[in-house]
Amino acid sequence: MSYAKKFRVVPGSAVNLRQIDPGFLGRESHEHALDELERDRTKLRSLQELFHADGRFSLLICLQGLDAGGKDGTINHILGAMNPQGCSVVGFKEPTPEELAHDFLWRIHRATPARGRVTIFNRSHYEDVLVVRVHELVPKAVWSGRYEQINAFESALVDADTHILKFFLHTSKREQLRRFKDRLVDPAKQWKISESDYKERRFWGHYTRAYEDALSRCSTKHAPWFVIPSDHKWFRNLAIGRIVVEHLEGLKMKFPRPSVNLEHIRREYHAARA
């Protein structure tokens, strides 16, 4: 199965999240997926080394989803397979006073990756057409104009050799509540829970409509959105890992030629051994 083809939001299409099963597994089973997950992690490790050495591109991965959707778990899966020297994670929370004094993309642009590097956004510039819209933090005339601004911003990044992959972690309302319960009873997870998590559930329908508009209006050929069924964490990791692997493999990267005289160094090596 091509996960990229199955879960990609076709540019210009209208997304209806209620018609997409967040518990989808296809023909996969957890047991069968374990070997595939490990193979993909091995591929990610070698591909990221080649990506860094090739140095022509940068990769930006955007993760969006409702609370407990699995953004942290996805980050651990993807970056856990890579060399941390070539990767970074940026989390976007409530804007600071300095950030609010600039346009909404200012703090985003500063965090985009340089060539040869991979950056994952834990939440992103899309918060400004999601939470801002749902809680009416700015007038509709303001947030509704941001879709075109986001598309133009992403297009400019692509023109500068940044590859963009955007993943919406699609979970069910029931699964979110189950994960909240886990956080309540597990001392290692209790620090993650907050009262706002439960309060935000009241806006589930509003967030669904906001996400549908963002996914529909901002999935482009150069910066596609993927709706990833995420009720099963292992399947989420399998699908996202495979999409990233296939994208990197398609870049036709190569190691640069050595910048030194190898024959001279070989002679020096053999002389040192003599």
Region of residue 95 (phi > 0: left; psi between -120 and 50: alpha; otherwise: beta): beta
Mind listing the pLDDT tens digit for each residue in 184-201?
A: 998 988 888 888 888 999
Q: Give per-residue pLDDT as tens, 240-267.
A: 999 999 999 999 999 998 888 878 788 8
**pLDDT tens-digit map of 116-140:** 999 999 999 999 999 999 999 999 9
Whether pLDDT at 44 is above 80: yes
pLDDT of residue 262: 77
Please give the Cα distance from 253 to 43 (Å, whole number).
14
One-letter identity of residue 128: D
Q: Comparing C-alpha atoms, which of 128, 92, 132, 98 is closest to residue 112? A: 92
CATH of the domain at 257: 3.40.50.300
Count of the separate structural domains present in the chain:
1
Which residue in 168, 162, 179, 163 sits closest to 240, CA to CA?
Answer: 168
Is the pLDDT at 274 greater than 80, yes or no?
no
pLDDT tens-digit series, residues 201-231:
999 999 999 999 999 999 999 999 999 999 9
> Which two three-digit tokens encode residue 78?
């993807």
**Mean pLDDT value across residues 50-55:** 97
pLDDT digits (tens, 9 = 90+) for 77-127: 999 899 999 999 999 999 999 999 999 999 999 999 999 999 999 999 999
Strand 225-229 with 87-91, pairing: unpaired
Mapped onto helix, strand or coil, the DSSP state of residue 212 is helix
Residue range of the domain that includes 255: 3-273
Q: Say what the pLDDT of residue 13 is.
A: 97
- pLDDT band at residue 234, thresholds of 50, 70 and 90? very high
User: Which sign does the torsion angle of CA 179, 185, 191, 196 carry?
Assistant: positive
